[in-house]
A and B are shown apart, each in its own frame.
Chain A
Amino acid sequence: MSVNTSLIATERDEVPKHVREIVTPEGIPLRFQLARASDRVGAFTLDLLIQFFVLFLIGLGLNLAAGGQSSSWLTAVMTVLSFLLVNFYFSFFEIRWQGKTPGKRKTGIRVIDARGGQLEASAVLARNLVRELEFWTPARLLLAGSVVWPSAPVWAVTVAGLWAFVFLLFPLFNKDRLRVGDLIAGTRVVMQPKTELAPDLVAETAANIMGPKGRATYAFTDAQLGVYGIFELQVLENVLRQDPSKVGYSDALRTVVEKIQAKIRYERKITHDELFLRDFYAALRGHLEQKMLFGERKEDKYSAKKQQG
């Protein structure tokens, strides 16, 4: 949650920028975050390295098996194996592991069907067979241009390679970060969801830091609670969930306390910053949730109360 942007929207019904929704067969929309370009590049590089490494091992093994002499059978097997490995590595893993390859597993991303539903084998094939066009051709043109196109001058090869790079850079030109393969197959690459449950702030406050009389130390009137909206509540939640041992924690708390105190015009004296914020959080959350049950949702301190339809 610290690195990823949240899946939760600030405005109701609006999905955050890099989040995509699919509807499960049960009818519930589930949200996924699109994989970042850096993750995808990292996963691809890792997969390439694995492929080269395996090819190297196979070559070595076959060489040893042939006793060091070159044999045409060896070359033949090597050619076929390298072709199969390079062209079907991704398809094999993405079908087998339902959208993951070793590289993708390491960077924490996976392939899903854009419409929700099981990732079909034909979709995986479609998205991976196009890699020949997207990556290998530009790579070959740039690295071994003289072999592919013997009679061409250097500048022509470079231009051709750069043009071919348009396909490679395709994900940067569309908002869903689709590769050409993703476009053809109707798939998306998203971050693998990670689950960590932080304790409930309200329950925690009640359990740990209770005032001597067993109730909240700081009390607020309805008017004071009506100042802020959901956005501010969630900002406050983020502040309270920070690591207390970090430098500047108490300073941050103090700043927030002073701001709130000024805004809601809290007259009484505040001795314990954290306790004040926790009590305020609990009270504000209770207040806003109660309002939500009646269909009133106050998004932030600037919005007038909206009636839900």
Chain B
Amino acid sequence: MRQVRSMRSVEFRHEREATWAELETIIGKADKDGLRSLSAEQLARLPHLYRATLSSLSVARSISLDRALTEYLENLAARAYFVVYGARQVLRKQMAEFFLTRLPSAIREAKWHILVAFMVMLAGAIAAYQLTLTDMDYYYTFVGDMAQGRTPASSTAELRAGLYGGDSVNSTLATFAASLFSHNARIGIMAFALGFVAGLPTLLLLFYNGLVLGAFSALYHSRGLSVDLWGWLLPHGITELLAVILCGAGGFLLAHGLVFPGAKTRMDSLRERGRLAAVVVLGAVLMLFIAGIIEGVFRQRVTSVPVRYTVAAVTAAWWIFYFGFVGRRTVKRAAQVRAEDAHDAEMTGAWLASSSMSEGRR
């Protein structure tokens, strides 16, 4: 008995077992029914028990050779860690924070990549436009399957009718818009994901999109229907094209993180840019959804050209405002607070260092 009692590890366990059991009940309840099911006293006990268990783990690691005990404490501490650090904000607050701050500031952070994506698409559009104007046969090369009956072989009257289509297409419109949304969104997400292979497929996808656009506009321009075409395209097109560009930018962010990590390791650089890109792409998917709604609900119902252009202008102004200005103040304030904290920490450190030096001199 004497030998047993004097063993520190046995005594240590005997003393602390109750704490661990209490923690286990609390986290068991939290795991099953969520943090909200805990009572106020349990919530108050949780951090204390968690820290006590962490200290038990440290002690056990250094003095105890009871493998089962150390393993148990590792797992208990890990479970408690998840409960303590797993709490999230209320969903409403999270969404508000995302839309008001996170998304707009992410777009601002990614502005150079967005610019590059835009230039790639523009290059494709200009190239196709010029080529198709000189030789209409290029249209078939560029547009291919996406023509849906609108080709150089169609008469001008048919093309015009397509832009101001009547009610007969109404019933299939919803399907059309929905499948277009999911098709575009899927391509957008692929453009993002393909950034992982150094961004070349993303580049090609964007360029191809530009080609289609350019060829299309060349065809309509050659029939004198430019104004009508852009009136048809722009109300939803501004949102949609912007979304596609954002997805491309997301892909480029990934590629950038992978190929040019700069001073960081590739893993760290990918990690940072990957998260930024994911936020950007989520924004793009939402924009595609909005574009789909505008396209499906609005386009074939409203045929007045001035109205269409007004709506286009409104969407453009809205996105400029949202991405350019929303959330700036919050981000600036957060940066200010961080800078102040860092400054305070520095001052405290300097003060401590100087006071300990004077202590030493004494």
Contact = CB atoms under 8 A, between A and B. Distances in A.
Q: Considering residues B71, B72, B82, B276, which has the most beta carbons from chain A within 10 angstroms of its beta carbon?
A: B71
B193 A129 contact: yes
A193 B77 CA distance: 9
A73 B54 contact: no
B153 interface: no
A186 B193 contact: no
B96 interface: no
Interface stretch (B5-13, B130-138, B298-306): B5-13
B218 interface: no
A285 to B, nearest CB: 5
A286 B7 contact: yes
Contact of B186 (A83, A234, A293): A83
B7 A202 contact: yes
B235 to A, nearest CB: 19
Nearest to B64: A289
A198 to B, nearest CB: 4
Interface in A26-49: 26, 28, 30-32
Contacts of B312: none
A206 interface: yes
Contacts of A195: 24, 72, 75-76, 79
B186 A28 contact: no
Contacts of B254: 184
A87 B278 CA distance: 13
Contacts of A77: 178
B291 interface: no
Interface stretch (B156-164, B166-174, B328-336, B353-361): B166-174
Given A200-B69, A206-B1, A289-B65, A30 B81 contact: yes
A137 B187 CA distance: 11
B65 A292 contact: yes
A118 B86 CA distance: 6
Interface string A115-132: 001111111011001101
A197 B66 contact: no
B278 A237 contact: no
Given A121-B98, A206-B4, A286-B3, A185 B181 contact: no
A64 interface: no
Interface stretch (A1-9, A50-58, A245-253, A259-267): A1-9
Contact of B175 (A32, A75, A83, A238): A75
B182 A83 contact: yes
Contacts of B121: none
B94 interface: yes
A214 B1 contact: yes
Nearest to A286: B7
A197 to B, nearest CB: 5
Interface string B242-266: 0000000000001000000000000
Contact of B270 (A119, A133, A184): A184
B189 interface: yes
B65 A193 contact: no
A198 B64 CA distance: 15
A303 B30 CA distance: 45
A283 interface: yes
Interface string B1-42: 111101111100110000010001000000000000000000
Contacts of A132: 186, 189-190, 193
B233 interface: no
A150 to B, nearest CB: 9
Contact of A30 (B74, B192, B196): B74
B172 A230 contact: no
B175 A118 contact: no
Interface string A275-295: 000000011011011001100
A99 B178 CA distance: 31
Contact of A289 (B9, B79, B178): B9
A303 to B, nearest CB: 15
B92 interface: no
Contacts of B192: 129-130
A289 B174 CA distance: 74
B274 A184 contact: yes
A122 B69 contact: no
Interface string B55-79: 0011000111111111110111111
A288 B79 contact: no
Given A28-B77, A87-B189, A122-B276, A8 B281 contact: no
Contacts of B54: 24, 26, 28
B287 interface: no
A126 B278 contact: yes
A1 B57 contact: no
B194 interface: yes
A79 B190 contact: no
8 smallest CB-CB distances across A and B, nearest first, come from: A186-B271, A133-B193, A126-B278, A184-B274, A76-B178, A193-B75, A83-B182, A76-B174
20 contacts: A7-B75, A24-B81, A72-B171, A79-B175, A87-B285, A95-B88, A110-B82, A114-B271, A120-B275, A125-B275, A126-B274, A130-B192, A133-B190, A184-B254, A192-B79, A196-B72, A198-B72, A210-B1, A233-B65, A292-B62
